[in-house]
A and B are shown apart, each in its own frame.
Chain A
Amino acid sequence: MKKRRSNAVMGMSFFTPALILMIVFLFVPMLLTLIYSFTDYFALSPDNTHFVGFENFKKIFRDELFTKAFWNTVGFVAIIVPLQGLGALGLALLVNKVAHFKKYFKVAFFIPVVMSLAVVSTLWMQIYSPEGIINTILGQFGIDAQPFIHSAKQALPSIAVMSVWQGVGYQMIIFLGGLQAINPALYEAAEMDHASAWQKFRDITLPELKPLCIFVFITITIGAFRMIVQPMVMTGGGPSNSTYTLVYDIYETGTVNWEIGLSSAMAVIFVVFVIILTIIQNVLTRDKEEKKK
């Protein structure tokens, strides 16, 4: 009895530092975000705050900039998710199969992952510049110089491609881990039946990787939804707001315009999105696990 009690005290005391920090910097901010989203809290005159019901949410959906930011974000997701997901899977299959320099390939495709978003963005600003290396190479093939991040049409896809380049190695490593976890006996059995490479891929590799695929695609989707630093550094959201994103809008509305109420409402919508995606992922993968049993 006494021991159990002392365990409870000790457990709590080990857990308390983390708990206090979680309360102050995670729970309370989440709760406040939810509460503020129903107020007109303006950080420069906090005493003048009123409860406004769903006014912020109505305002957001009428707001042109927010709508633009939303569709831009969807645009980023639409380009990044298939490119990065399939790219990572393709790279992982190749690196898994290659007989020589395997270690070099793992490192080479992972290098951009450890570079920071700010560095990668600064570097690609030079690469995409009107007189930059890509336009010079294009010029040698007789192709006109492209404006890339300086045009409202090309800025979003240009940043999306750069983001895929930066992130693809991360998911490649996850897929490689998954590939190496597949029981080799499955392939041996298939080889006895003279299965072709494509049959082996379709009937063994793909089904075995399915839960991991769902996980990877959802994480890339959430990651793409969180896009902010790249447009912040490269274009400031422009030209003509063509690379302004949801998180960028949340951030600027909060820390530049100090409209905490409005910014909180945007954050609530964003978090709901992320939670829905996570639930979808859990449902899809759980389904798979149960079938296995």
Chain B
Amino acid sequence: MKTKAKKISGWILTVFMLIMSLFFLFPVVWMLANSFKGDALITADMNSAAAFIPPALNGSFFDNYITIIKDTSFLRYMVNTLFYAAILIVLGIVVNGLAGYALAKIKFPFADKWLLIIMMLMIIPSETIITINFLTIAKLGLLNNIIGYVLPMIVNPFNIFLFRQVFVSLPDDVYEAAQLDYCSPIKYFFTMVLPMSKTVVATVSVFTFLGVWNDYLWPSLVFTSSDLLTAQIGLNSITSNDNTTMGQTLAVITMITIPVIIIYSLFSKQIVEGVVSTGSKEG
């Protein structure tokens, strides 16, 4: 008897939460549904439930998307951003991974002190040093240059810390065996250490991708030439154009969101682990 009551109250909670999640997601549903409509239809549908339903699949269904792809450079901005993300994932793993490995496994002068300093660096908000980094890059003549954009973003104290925490628990004897085989330390790092730590490599890669894809302030400072813009900055220049309709705006922000949703659905486990690890690092 009691279990039956429990079952019913369980379903009541589920239904309540389903309704709540629909309310919560209404902006996303509205964005998606109306990105396939012309502005007249968006306004006409606004007064009814049709506001949250995509239009019938007809010849003009993808018009907004086609206009954006044909008449703007948005696709190019998306490709640019993917390219930057790829560079920063590779460089980030090598630079931060090597540093994390040195801190975890190799005794070198002041290693403990460096770890402490890196943990303190994690506190400093990047917005406070962005102006100085901009001046540095400008002085080096690297504005509107991929190198100038990438250089300050490679090193990430949090990722060094994350790598270090994982590498500390790797067994030492494998390393000693590798030394007997005259395996060079750098080769050992790439052929043994990184493959043994796939989870942290995936977590760092996913977070680097999300960081690069969603970043706004830094690319808006470094890039002014339209060939190099990232998707987020391109979005700004497209939506601030008076000729862009509401439907097209919604199509652009849907396009920009698709890659992160794909990444999230593929790597949700790594993302959740990464998020939880920020909470448990205090322990």
Please state if B275 and A25 are interface contacts (CB–CB under 8 Å): no
Contact with A109, one of B21, B109, B154 (Cβ below 8 angstroms): B21
Residues in chain A near residue B10, CB distance under 8 A: 98-100
Q: Are A26 and B129 in contact (CB under 8 A)?
A: yes
B94 partner residues in chain A, CB cutoff 8 A: 17
Q: Which residues of A contact B189 (CB under 8 A)?
A: 14
Shortest distance in angstroms between A40's beta carbon and chain B's nearest beta carbon? 15
Chain B 66-104 interface 0/1 with A at a Cβ cutoff of 8 Å (1 = within): 000000000000000000000000000011101101110
Task: Given the known inter-chain contacts A99-B10, A177-B279, please indicate yes or no for A17 contacting B99, CB distance below 8 A.
Answer: yes
Nearest CB of chain B from residue A30's CB, rounded to whole Å: 6
A260/B131 contact (C-beta < 8 A), A116-B216, A127-B27, A174-B279 known: yes
Chain B residues with a Cβ closer than 8 Å to the other chain, count: 87
A118-B133 contact given A101-B14, A226-B125, CB 8 Å threshold: no
B282 touches A211 (CB 8 A): yes
Q: By the criterion CB–CB under 8 Å, are B106 and A14 in contact?
A: yes
Instruction: Give Cα A249–Cα B106 distance, bound, in whole angstroms.
Output: 44
Within 8 A of B (CB), among A212-243: 212, 215-216, 219, 222, 226, 228-229, 232-233
Tell me whether A109 and B24 are in contact (CB under 8 A): yes
- How extensive is the interface on chain A, given as a class? 35 or more
A177 to chain B, nearest CB (A): 4
Question: Which residues of B sit under 8 angstroms from A182, Cβ to Cβ?
Answer: none
Out of A95, A116, A211, A275, name the residue touching B256 (CB < 8 Å).
A116
Contact A98 B107 (CB under 8 A): no
- Interface segment, A57-65, A148-156, A263-271? A263-271
Q: Does B114 contact A (CB under 8 A)?
A: yes
Interface window among B54-62, B197-205, B231-239: B231-239
Chain B: CB-nearest residue to A129: B246
A205 contacts B by Cβ under 8 Å: no
CA gap between A4 and B95 in the complex, in Å: 23
Residues of A within 8 A of B27 (CB): 112, 123-124, 127, 165
- Hey, which chain A residues are within 8 Å of B133, CB to CB? 25, 29
Contact of B260 among A15, A101, A115, A173 (CB under 8 A): A115
B28, A111: Cβ atoms closer than 8 Å: yes
Q: Is residue A24 within 8 Å, beta carbon to beta carbon, of the partner chain? A: yes
For the complex, give the distance between the alpha carbons of A108 and B28 in Å: 10
Q: Are A267 and B128 in contact, CB atoms less than 8 angstroms apart? A: yes
- Tell me which residues across on chain B come within 8 A of A275, comparing CB atoms: 123
In whole angstroms, how far apart are the Cα atoms of A22 and B102 in the complex? Answer: 15
Flag the segment in A5-13, A68-76, A77-85, A185-193 that touches B: A5-13
CB distance from B222 to the nearest CB of A (A): 11
Q: Is the CB of B121 within 8 A of A26?
A: yes
Q: How far is the CA of A30 from the CA of B264 in the complex (A)?
A: 34
Cβ contact within 8 Å between B253 and A122: yes
| Chain A nearest Cβ from B51, distance in angstroms | 6
Q: How far is the CA of A116 from the CA of B219 in the complex (A)?
A: 14
Verify B260–A11 contact, CB threshold 8 A: no
Nearest residue, chain B, Cβ from A281: B282
Contact between chains at A99 and B279 (CB < 8 Å): no
Contacting pair A101 B282 (CB below 8 A): no
Q: Once the chains bind, are B260 and A114 in contact (CB under 8 Å)? A: yes
1-48 of chain A: CB within 8 A of chain B: 4, 7-12, 14-15, 17-19, 21-22, 24-26, 28-30, 32-33, 36, 43
B158 interface hit (Cβ, 8 Å): no
Contact A122 B249, CB 8 Å, known A100-B11, A173-B272:
yes
Task: Please measure, in the bound complex, the distance between the C-alpha atom of A215 and the C-alpha atom of B279, giving whole angstroms.
Answer: 7
Q: A94 within 8 Å of B by Cβ? A: yes
In whole angstroms, what is the CA distance A229 to B157 when docked?
A: 23
Q: In the bound complex, how far is the Cα of B261 from the Cα of A111, in angstroms?
A: 8
A287 an interface residue at 8 Å Cβ cutoff? no
B34 to chain A, nearest CB (A): 8
**CB-contact partner of B253 in A119, A173, A216, under 8 A:** A119
| Segment 250-268 of A: residues with Cβ below 8 Å from B | 250-251, 254-255, 260, 263-264, 267
Known: A25-B136, A111-B25. Contact between A122 and B235, CB under 8 A?
A: yes
Query: Across the interface, do A229 and B216 meet the contact criterion of CB distance under 8 Å?
Result: yes
In whole angstroms, what is the CA distance A261 to B158 when docked? Answer: 29
Complex A-B: 26 CB contacts under 8 Å: A11-B106, A11-B107, A12-B102, A15-B114, A18-B155, A26-B121, A28-B136, A100-B10, A100-B14, A104-B21, A105-B17, A108-B24, A110-B268, A114-B263, A115-B214, A116-B213, A116-B216, A117-B214, A118-B232, A123-B27, A215-B282, A216-B279, A255-B131, A260-B131, A275-B123, A289-B283
Query: Assuming A29-B132, A111-B28, what are 19 further A-B pairs, CB within 8 angstroms?
Result: A7-B108, A14-B98, A14-B186, A19-B99, A21-B152, A21-B154, A99-B13, A105-B21, A116-B260, A118-B236, A119-B257, A127-B27, A174-B278, A177-B272, A177-B276, A247-B128, A271-B124, A275-B123, A289-B283
Q: Which residues in B have some Cβ–Cβ distance to A below 8 Å?
A: 10-11, 13-14, 17-18, 21, 24-28, 30-31, 43, 46-47, 51, 94-96, 98-99, 101-103, 106-109, 111, 114, 118, 121, 123-125, 127-136, 151-152, 154-155, 157, 160, 185-186, 189, 210, 213-214, 216-217, 221, 232, 235-236, 239, 246, 249-250, 253, 256-257, 260-261, 263-265, 268, 271-272, 275-276, 278-280, 282-283
